[in-house]
Amino acid sequence: MNKALYWVWLAQRTTVSNRSIRELLGEVPDAELIYNMDEEQLSLFPYINKTTFRKLMDKDLDEAKIIVEKCAVNNYNIICYADEDYPEALKNIPDFPIVLYHRGLKLPLNELLCIAVVGTRKPSCYGLKCADEIAVELASSGVLVISGMAVGVDAAAHNGAKRICKPTLAVLGSAIDDIYPRKNKFLYEYMLYNGSIISEYPPGAKIYPSNFPERNRIISGLSSGVVVVEAGKRSGSLITANIALEQGKDVFSVPNIVGNENGIGTNNLIREGAKLVTSAIDILDEYRGMYASINEIRKNNEAEYSDEFLKKSFLESFTDLTSLERKVAELCDANPLTADELSLKTDIPMNYILSALTMLEIKGVVISEVGNKFKLKF
């Protein structure tokens, strides 16, 4: 019988916070042996509580069989804790995933310097530029850029590596076959052939809000260091930074303008001891001589940012805009326009334009200037 079947069965019977099964694996590193234990044998391990004991006595393999068959039919890889290609870095965290589902290239994670680049889902143009530039410099130097494929900083980091045709790795908070958010479909497809996608959630699994903070431990666990590019006071990327510290990883932070809400979290990290980053060199200097894969930053890969690139990236970070709001926002750029001018350009009645501008201002997409003119909030 497929060995992965027992690992999938075991993974279905544990949670991120349940460390007793992981402790059991330290003594019995074989899921099939655990599956075949009877009550008397399992009772020899005193740290197994009643709830976990009851789950491990449930020998139903039907759900695991469905998952394994789905993976086989769709060519999804199942990487189990005992497999040779299971990342060594993850074995060193207390809440390691028992099974990883994988698509794309099998990258030599144990040999590469892996750096996570994370941040807010609604970055400023400054944040987008920093994420892209740092990712470009890291990837061009032989570093594997890791992130969570969310909108905003995550997507900018992945796209930085993609822009110079380098591999990048995404850790999903959704099932391995669920492209979330859908707008990152092309990024997902790029990584199928030029990168790597992993998730601890099997094909067909539902998305729960708790998935995303849970996957953050894998992002930091795989990485030698975590770079927080831009983060507000309560940004989820700060969870990743805190987990990284608990895991003994390096934490880097990009400074931001005083008073910018998107920079409160990153500036606080620096105040608390995170290493200040102004370019990838500040990160690479920490690992000189430790990884054969690290090269010098290639100057010809330095990022160039057109106004159109910045505008497109900025607007993509706002996922809750109506079609009208997006249409109005796309007409706004660095040159302020009045509501009258926007109405003439779109042939949309003034009352609709004013309503859209009000919502865009509330959402932080545009700002109003003297003369009732509006422009994007760069």
**Segment 282-315, tens digit of pLDDT:** 999 999 888 877 776 544 344 445 566 667 667 7
DSSP for 112-151 reads: S-EEEEE--SS--HHHHHHHHHHHHHHHHTTPEEEE---T
pLDDT for residue 308: 64
What mean pLDDT, rounded, does the chain reach?
Answer: 91
Whether the CB-CB separation of 149 and 170 falls below 8 Å is answered with yes
pLDDT at position 364, please?
80
Alpha helices in the chain (DSSP H): 3-11, 20-27, 31-35, 39-42, 50-56, 62-74, 88-91, 125-140, 153-163, 185-194, 211-222, 237-246, 264-271, 280-284, 307-316, 323-331, 339-346, 350-362
Q: What torsion, rounded to 10 degrees, do the Cα atoms 256, 124, 303, 227 define?
A: 50
Residues in the chain: 378
Q: Please state, for a pLDDT cut of 90, what percent of the chain lies above it.
A: 72
Phi (first) and psi of residue 272, to 5 degrees = -90, 0
- Distance CA(366)–CA(357), nearest Å, equals 8
For residue 302, what pLDDT is reported? 42
Does the pLDDT at position 183 exceed 60? Answer: yes
Q: Which are the contacts of 289, defined by CB distance < 8 A and separation ≥ 6?
A: none
C-alpha angle 297-273-94 in degrees, rounded to nearest 5: 90
Which pLDDT score is estimated for 371? 80
Q: What is the pLDDT of residues 205-233, one digit of tens each?
A: 999 999 999 999 999 999 999 999 999 99
Contacts 24+ apart (CB under 8 A), 251-255: 251/225, 251/226, 251/275, 252/225, 252/226, 252/227, 252/228, 252/276, 252/277, 252/282, 252/283, 253/227, 253/228, 253/277, 254/127, 254/130, 254/134, 254/227, 254/228, 254/229, 254/230, 254/278
Summarize the confidence of residues 333-338 as an average pLDDT: 78
pLDDT band at 267 (very low <50, low <70, confident <90, very high): very high
Low-confidence winner among 48-62, 142-156, 219-233, 332-346 (lowest mean pLDDT): 332-346
Query: Cis omega before residue 181 (within 30°)?
Result: yes
Using a 10 angstrom Cβ sphere, with 0-12 exposed, 13-18 middle and 19 or more buried, the burial of residue 22 is middle
pLDDT over 60 (residue 119): yes
The residue to which tokens 């998730």 are assigned: 199
pTM listed for this prediction: 0.80
Res 17: pLDDT: 85
* Gap between the Cα atoms of 337 and 333, Å rounded: 9
